[in-house]
Structure 1
Amino acid sequence: MNLFHYLNSVQRVWNAGEGVAVARLLSLADHHVNNPSLHVHEHPETAVYRQLDAPLDEVVACHLKVLHHLTAEPRNYAEAYRQQTNCIQAVVKMLQVLKDENWFLPVMYTVAIDLRRLAAKCEEQIKTSKPGEILEKAAECLMGCFRVCAADNRASDADTKRLGMLNLVNQLFKVYFRINKLNLCKPLIRAIESSNFKESFSLAQRITYKYFAGRKAMFDSDYRNADEYLSFAFENCPRRFARNKRLILIYLVPVKMLLGYMPRKEVLQRYNVLQFHDLTVALKEGNV
């Protein structure tokens, strides 16, 4: 697939309103990223603007620049990250231009996830004077999307961009926990808890949200809410995701113990968190 065919594919699925398909063609995890025909365009604007309509054109042009810098020798993570920030800013414009519709929210999710991951990669590759600075700036870009989504009060419930809030909150949680800025989580939690769409978000997104909100409540010594959030996450996380259930238990078990509930050994054994068993025995024997 050459550039012409790639751009045609993007325009076709865009015209069809297939948000997931558009997102896939803009994802850094998609197989098109490995196509050498798409790597050579440091300045793809002419071809892109000729074939694609606004506001899609700017998003795609930035994406192609990201591919160019990620496949250069050596890889230029700093410039790739800079172009991905331009990409998310173009998505913000898209959110503002396309009123009363939300079918393209998967595009926002994909660009946001790739921005966070690129920012984390830059933190590893580029030693700045202030650790976490790049991720914090990425979070500011994500907040731009969040504000537009949160302010979309005019559209119908089915078409509102507010349905994209939780995905962004979860991305922001991952950044804030990594850079230890947990105080910035509080207004996000308040926004979700006061939302009329709490039950409309996907179960997967709600599980992720409850996991991080539960951890935040635990750090705030709000053990009742921590128990509620983390219990929801654990009970609703499918059994096949054993690693995720274990991560939840690492926080849920201490919360339960602080509330006076001792976990069963078989549960701890099943999810490989037996380190809590000896503590449970010691507490029961009064030998702490």
Structure 2
Amino acid sequence: WRMAFALEDLEQAATACDGRVLADRLGMVDLKDQSPKSFPDVSHLLPRAARWMGDATWGDMLAEYLETMQQIGKGDWAEAYKHISAGYLKLLSIFTTEEETSWLMPLVHQTTLDIRVIAGLADEADQSSGMQHLRDCSEKLSKGFSACWNDRTDIRSVESKRRGVVYLVNNCLKTYFRLGTLRLCKNLIKPLEMPMGGRPAMITSDFIPKSELVTYKFYVGRLNVLEDKYAEAEECLQYALANSPSHAMANKRKILTYLVPIKLCKGALPSQALLEKYNLVEFMALTKAVRSGNVRSFNDALLQFQELFIRQGTFLVLEKSKAIVHRNLIKHIDQVDPHKKPQQVNLVKVKEVFDWLGESLALDEIECIVANLIFRGLIRGYVSHSKRTLVLSKTNAFPFDKLKRWD
């Protein structure tokens, strides 16, 4: 667009309370691919900015936005962040102190995205900064959250600023995950998840855009994985996957990097077609090992991608899927041993197979593994310690006989 006409457009949009036009004209980052826009030289407009809307606060805010555009044009991300964050605070001041400003929500959302992306670019440009820009951004975003959440307008009204809070929360969650300050996530999630005044939790409201809810569920799901709340994590991630657009392959792949480990831990194995479709190479050998009960292959596959899994926070849940490997291995031994008694599995034989597969364990440790599988309901039967034997139930000794597959 041509900046020469932009100030007139901005004044017209502000007079008409059209927040979408303001967000489009003053946005620094493309909403779709989250990359910075290109801007012409706007230095000649700065004197006019101070008189914009005939109000010093609005004029100061616009001046910060124009200065941000100037610095983006120069590629100076630290200076760009300084100005966009200052503009954000001035915007929040207008948003919270002046009356009937809910129409500014599109600009609040846009600038929330802008400061987060520009903070990241500033930190990338200065590797020695220790992510100081993103840390500062985290504090600014919490002010944005408060600006929306503290609005007392009835949430059933379209004028309620609380209706726009999920977008703020999502940007905060992204920032907290990037910084590793996950303890702060609960401060944002709890208000959204709690019923209020006899009404359902806000996060269940039908006015929340599905795209925002998908992002929210993804991050809450990730947090639940890290807290070993696998049932809650699966529910959140399953929702995010089911409600992502069919063309959003990259986003679906991100969701699956956390959902697949939870499914594996439950014995629900992803199909080869699904793994290939989303290029989830790191799970191919693991899934095959779980299905076949091959302990050596499982250990090798886990070790091969160990750094990736640790970085993603899924290593521990994947380790827990080893119980399914053990269950399938014992089932295989039960099926192929021609000399065994009916409904009995010799634990000495099980130990020999474990040894052969490179997992040397004492017989007592084998007993402990089997007892744990029985306790978890993965095998039905009991252990005879005196005979070193697993005595299987006569019916359905290995529940969910065919492991569940999902596509």
TM-score (norm 2): 0.65
Q: Which residue of 1 aligns with 2:184?
A: 184
Give the residue type in structure 1 aligned to 2:48.
Answer: A
Give the distance between the partners of 1:262 and 1:99, measured in 2 at CA: 55
* Contact 1:2-1:38 within 8 A present in 2 as well: no
Give the residue type in structure 2 aligned to 1:134.
Answer: H
Q: 2:218 aligns with which of 177, 194, 211?
A: 211
**5+ unaligned residues in a row in structure 2: which ranges?**
31-35, 195-200, 296-407
For 1:1-288, what aligned pairs fall within 5 Å after superposition? 5-29=5-29, 34-40=38-44, 44=46, 46-54=47-55, 55-72=57-74, 75-128=75-128, 131-155=130-154, 157=156, 158-194=158-194, 195-196=201-202, 198-199=204-205, 200-288=207-295
Give the distance between the partners of 1:128 and 1:198, measured in 2 at CA: 42
Higher mean alpha-carbon deviation, 105-114 vs 189-198, is at 189-198
Distance 1:145 1:108, change over 3 A: same
Distance 1:99 1:225, change over 3 A: farther
Q: Which residue of 1 aligns with 2:367?
A: none
Give the distance between the partners of 2:110 and 2:6, measured in 1 at CA: 18
Give the distance between the partners of 1:83 and 1:248, measured in 2 at CA: 34
Q: Secondary structure at the match of 1:234?
A: helix
Give the distance between the partners of 2:153 and 2:12, measured in 1 at CA: 29
* Contact 1:8-1:51 within 8 A present in 2 as well: no
Give the distance between the partners of 1:279 and 1:33, measured in 2 at CA: 42
Q: How far did residue 40 of structure 1 move? A: 4.7
Give the distance between the partners of 1:142 and 1:53, measured in 2 at CA: 28
* Contact 2:81-2:133 within 8 A present in 1 as well: no
Q: How far did residue 273 of structure 1 move? A: 1.3
Distance 1:162 1:53, change over 3 A: farther
Supply the RMSD in Å over aligned alpha carbons: 2.2
CA deviation digits over 1:164-209, x for unaligned, max 9?
1110111111111111111111221112212425332100000011
Give the distance between the partners of 2:167 and 2:109, measured in 1 at CA: 7
**5+ unaligned residues in a row in structure 1: which ranges?**
none
Q: How far did residue 61 of structure 1 move? A: 1.2
Distance 1:111 1:125, change over 3 A: same
TM-score (norm 1): 0.90
Higher mean alpha-carbon deviation, 53-62 vs 277-286, is at 53-62
Distance 1:272 1:193, change over 3 A: same
Give the residue type in structure 2 aligned to 1:162.
Answer: R
Of structures 1 and 2, the one with the larger relative CO (CA 8 A, separation 6+) is: 1
Q: Secondary structure at the match of 1:36?
A: coil
* Contact 2:49-2:63 within 8 A present in 1 as well: yes
Distance 1:203 1:3, change over 3 A: closer
* Contact 1:88-1:142 within 8 A present in 2 as well: no
CA deviation digits over 1:199-247, x for unaligned, max 9?
3210000001111111111011110111011000000001111111111
* Contact 1:101-1:160 within 8 A present in 2 as well: no
* Contact 1:2-1:37 within 8 A present in 2 as well: no
Give the residue type in structure 1 aligned to 2:118.
Answer: L
* Contact 1:100-1:160 within 8 A present in 2 as well: no
Q: In percent, how many aligned pairs have the same letter?
A: 28
Give the distance between the partners of 1:221 and 1:33, measured in 2 at CA: 40
Give the distance between the partners of 2:284 and 2:37, measured in 1 at CA: 47
Distance 1:155 1:39, change over 3 A: farther
